[in-house]
């Protein structure tokens, strides 16, 4: 019997110790169980406790900050350092001081993100309309609550809302704030949760209060009569579309168009932009205009600069002589964020459940919640009044015979027996007896007795009135209406965003199409592009290139033709020949990576003039596969300049061939071998990133090197390499079928 193989220690060797160890460590687990036990609690926490606002209009981070400031006495007191507020808020919000301070900045008056800011700030809090104007550190700024916060905390100590323990059970915090107006519609809010998002635009406080009042009086009222449209802190002009607004009011989803406000200063021949859309920034506008100027699409503009100062936002655009400001602004509205779209997604938490609601439904939910808050307040006050009346009734019994009460107290030996003896002597309960026993001797006078008797009658009347409020929904509704009117009258402000209708706007100027004339275009291997007229080419046709560079592709076309540049990063850049200045053969031309704003290290590998987008492109990859994609796959409805995923990134690209009609193609490998096949063997695809089909089979150490139309190759013995089907191995390349210069992507 053969002996087992042993190791140096004499123990039998395992066939594969690693395998044994691996199997011992692997524990099978159902992925659905993992999602349910690990991911779902996280997702629900983000949805319920972070990203989605509730019916009071606040996220938990907002509510914790404002409540902390309220408890610090900052509603009526003087400002305190923001660092102090941030530190105190961490008792309720343990997510870090930076996150708390960012929350405070967004709620501040200085930042300007809200129509009704809740933080009265002092110092540099940055600006909502600028991404570069950052806020100062919290040790340099000060803050307190704005007066409107009194509407957020009114009667919060009267059991209007529920309170829960904070994260370490050391103090209580409110679940909601008892806002006296629908803050959910007044304060702009946005958040991204797991699998859902929320985006609220702000509405004018006066209009929201008026719309809510109209709803309370008539639930079927037309909200568009009172709630005219969104109102943004940055102003601008709302291009009103009644149908789009109605869709937002009914479904909670939709979008509105907002454009900047501007004026023309004739004496200086410049345009001043003093209000911009809420959803953009001055840097985004400046960058886009600079891009237009650089690409030659805004030739009327000499310069644009930011002149924002303490007086407010201002962007100045210097015009060239003879430029029409209306035409310039029409172009800028169409091609820059000076006209932008704000998307609405009214996703709100209702009793812990996220729901997308229209404006009418939000007002209905807020009204129901506010009605409950008012009733809870009335119950609380009613309970206090009943308790006091109960005490006074006990006092009333004793006041009818003061001498008897004094005698009972004097004749009682032990202090602990005073209250029981009073209870027995006058037939009152312990609470009443305790209250009577604490009355001072100086209060046993006629005036005091008469006042207490009158107070008893007044309390009884007040209790009857409070009971009537609870029994009469109309009176509860009247309280809500009065509080709405008070908030609107005291804190309401005029609209900042002007409403204009599409038919009121001036007719847009049609941009003159670029002049069309024949041109020759040249693309070099290193990415230099030249557009040369035939006249200039006749004068000098000696093309200049950098050392080591040379011609990649050349075409005859027109100045208005569209052109696409494919890069080695699986991207394609679309533009027009008219965007390039006329050049000469003696110049290098435009460097495309800089001209088109390509990514660092990105290079052009192929140029296509799509024309009417007929035909297709065949991409050949290093792994021997080829993908045929219709040029229509690169056609877009919008004027996008950059498309990602232009072709598959699974293997390096080696060649591109355009196929307008079926033809034979030659594919080369590094062995070297060659295979000739007909393009009809490849099925056209509409998906740009398709991996294609194998056309060339190779040994592991070889790869596909190049490909070109057969007519543009020096192959003489074509039948030797021709194949009727793909994939194929091809045949070894003979000397007479090669040329001195290799075929590359340069072929046009």
Consecutive H or E run containing 306: strand 301-306
DSSP output for 441-507: GGG-SHHHHHHHHHHHHHHHHHHHHHHHHHH-HHHHHHHHHHHHHHHHHHH----SSEEEEGGGSPP
What are the tokens at 697? 């089979």
DSSP 3-state of 104: helix
Q: Tell me the two tokens of residue 63.
A: 């509510």
Q: Quick one: tokens of 367?
A: 């009204």
- Give the full edge-to-edge strand order of the sheet including 551-558: 551-558, 518-524, 528-532, 590-591
Token code pair at residue 80: 């305190």
Q: Is 692 left (phi over 0), alpha (psi -120 to 50) or beta?
A: left
Query: Phi and psi for 436 in degrees, rounded to 5?
Result: -65, -40
C-alpha of 68 from chain center = 27
- DSSP assignments along 608-619, one per residue: E--TTT-SEEEE
- Rounded Cα distance between 144 and 84, Å, is 11
Would you state the structure tokens that stand for residue 450, as one six-digit string? 């008469």
Query: Is 140 an annotated catalytic residue?
Result: yes
From the candidates 140, 167, 501, 613, give the one annotated as an active-site residue: 140
- Please, what's the b/e burial string for 113-126 (b: 16 or more CB within 10 A of its CB; e: otherwise)? bbbbbbbbbebbbb
- Going by DSSP bridges, is the β-strand pair 315-319/270-275 parallel, antiparallel, or unpaired? antiparallel
Q: Which of 613, 626, 747, 725 is nearest to 676 (CA)?
A: 725
655 CB burial (10 A radius; 0-12, 13-18, 19+): buried
* 3-state DSSP assignment of residue 354: strand
Tokens of 393: 């009734």
Angle, CA of 243, 248 and 249, to the nearest 5°: 95
What value does the CA radius of gyration of the chain take, rounded to a whole number of Å? 39
Buried b (16+ CB within 10 A) or exposed e, 435-469: bbeeeeeeeeeeeebeebeeebeebeeebeebeeb
Q: Are 83 and 136 in contact (CB under 8 A)?
A: no
CA distances from 26 to 20, 29, 31, 236, 541 (A): 10, 9, 14, 61, 71
- Describe the chain by its helix, strand, coil percentages, rounded to 5: 35, 25, 40
**Quick one: DSSP state of residue 741?**
S
3 state DSSP class of 651 = coil
| φ and ψ of 201, to 5 deg | -90, 155
57, burial (CB in 10 Å: exposed 0-12, middle 13-18, buried 19+) = buried
Q: Assign 121 to helix, strand or coil.
A: strand
CA distances to 280, 534, 546 from 582, in Å? 35, 11, 19
The whole-angstrom separation of Cα 466 and Cα 375 is: 10
CA–CA gap between residue 493 and residue 646 (Å, rounded) = 51
Q: For the beta carbon of residue 661, count every other beta carbon within 10 angstroms.
A: 7
Residue holding tokens 């035939």? 534
- Which tokens go with 686? 């509409």
Which residues face 709 on adjacent strands? 665
Task: Output the DSSP codes for 370-412.
Answer: HHHHHHHHHHHHHHHHHHHHHHHHHHHHHHTTHHHHHHHHHH-
Catalytic site residues?
A: 140
């Amino acid at each position: 019997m053969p002996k087992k193989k042993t190791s140096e220690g004499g123990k039998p060797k395992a066939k594969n110790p690693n395998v044994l160890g691996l199997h011992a460590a692997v524990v099978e687990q159902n992925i659905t169980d993992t999602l349910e036990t690990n991911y779902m609690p996280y997702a629900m926490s983000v949805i319920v406790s972070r990203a989605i606002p509730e019916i009071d209009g606040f996220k938990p981070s907002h509510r914790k900050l404002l409540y902390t400031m309220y408890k610090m006495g900052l509603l009526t007191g003087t400002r305190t350092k923001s660092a102090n507020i941030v530190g105190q808020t961490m008792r309720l919000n343990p997510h870090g001081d930076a996150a708390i301070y960012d929350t405070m900045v967004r709620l501040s008056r200085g930042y300007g993100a809200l129509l009704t800011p809740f933080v009265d700030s002092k110092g540099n809090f940055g600006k909502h309309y600028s991404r570069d104007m950052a806020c100062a550190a919290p040790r340099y700024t000060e803050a307190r609550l704005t007066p409107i916060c009194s509407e957020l905390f009114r009667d919060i100590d009267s059991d209007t809302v529920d309170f829960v323990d904070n994260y370490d059970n050391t103090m209580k915090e409110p679940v909601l704030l008892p806002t006296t107006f629908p803050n959910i519609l007044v304060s702009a809010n946005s958040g991204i949760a797991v699998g859902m998002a929320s985006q609220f635009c702000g509405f004018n406080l006066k209009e929201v209060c008026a719309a809510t009042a109209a709803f309370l009086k008539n639930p079927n009222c037309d909200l568009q009569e009172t709630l005219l449209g969104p109102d943004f802190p940055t102003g601008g002009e709302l291009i009103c579309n009644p149908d789009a607004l109605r869709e937002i009011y009914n479904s909670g989803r939709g979008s509105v168009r907002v454009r900047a406000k501007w004026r023309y200063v004739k004496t200086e021949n410049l345009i001043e932009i003093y209000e911009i859309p809420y959803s953009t920034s001055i840097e985004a506008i400046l960058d886009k205009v600079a891009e237009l100027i650089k690409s030659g699409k805004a030739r009327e503009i000499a310069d644009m600069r930011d002149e924002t100062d303490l007086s407010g936002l201002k962007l100045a655009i210097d015009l060239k002589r003879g430029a029409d400001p209306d035409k310039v602004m029409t172009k800028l509205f169409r091609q820059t964020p000076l006209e932008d779209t704000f998307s609405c997604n009214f996703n709100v938490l209702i009793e812990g459940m996220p729901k997308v609601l229209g404006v009418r439904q939000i007002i209905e939910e807020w009204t129901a919640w506010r009605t409950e808050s008012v009733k809870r307040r009335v119950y609380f006050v009613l309970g206090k009044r009943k308790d006091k009346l109960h005490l006074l009734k006990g006092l009333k019994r004793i006041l009818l015979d003061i001498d008897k009460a004094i005698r009972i107290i004097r004749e009682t030996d032990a202090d602990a027996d005073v209250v029981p003896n009073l209870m027995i002597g006058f037939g009152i309960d312990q609470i009443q007896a305790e209250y009577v026993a604490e009355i001072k001797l100086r209060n046993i006078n006629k005036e005091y007795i008469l006042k207490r008797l009158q107070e008893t009658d007044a309390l009884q009347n007040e209790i009857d009135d409070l009971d009537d409020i609870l029994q009469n929904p109309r009176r509860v509704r009247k309280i809500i209406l009065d509080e709405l009117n008070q908030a609107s009258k005291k804190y309401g402000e005029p609209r900042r965003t002007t409403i204009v209708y599409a038919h009121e706007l001036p007719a847009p100027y049609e941009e003159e199409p670029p002049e069309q004339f024949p041109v020759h275009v040249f693309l070099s291997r290193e990415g230099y592009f030249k557009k040369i007229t035939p006249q200039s080419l006749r004068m000098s046709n000696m093309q200049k290139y950098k050392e080591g560079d040379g011609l990649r592709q050349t075409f005859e076309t027109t100045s208005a033709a569209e052109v696409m540049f494919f890069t080695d990063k699986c991207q394609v850049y679309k533009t027009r020949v008219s965007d390039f200045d006329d050049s000469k053969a003696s110049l290098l031309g435009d460097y495309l990576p800089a001209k088109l704003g390509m990514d660092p290290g990105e290079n052009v590998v192929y140029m296509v003039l799509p024309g009417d987008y007929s035909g297709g492109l065949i991409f050949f990859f290093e792994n021997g596969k080829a993908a045929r994609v219709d040029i229509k796959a690169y056609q877009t409805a919008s004027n996008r300049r950059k498309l990602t995923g232009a072709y598959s990134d699974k293997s390096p690209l080696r060649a591109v061939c355009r196929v307008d009609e079926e033809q034979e193609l030659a594919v080369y490998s590094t062995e070297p071998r060659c295979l000739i096949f007909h393009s009809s063997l490849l099925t056209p695809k509409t998906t740009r990133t398709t991996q294609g089909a194998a056309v060339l089979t190779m040994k592991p150490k070889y790869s596909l090197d190049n490909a070109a139309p057969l007519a543009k190759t020096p192959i003489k013995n074509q039948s030797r390499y021709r194949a009727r089907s793909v994939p194929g191995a091809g045949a070894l390349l003979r000397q007479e079928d090669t040329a001195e210069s290799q075929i590359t992507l340069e072929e046009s």
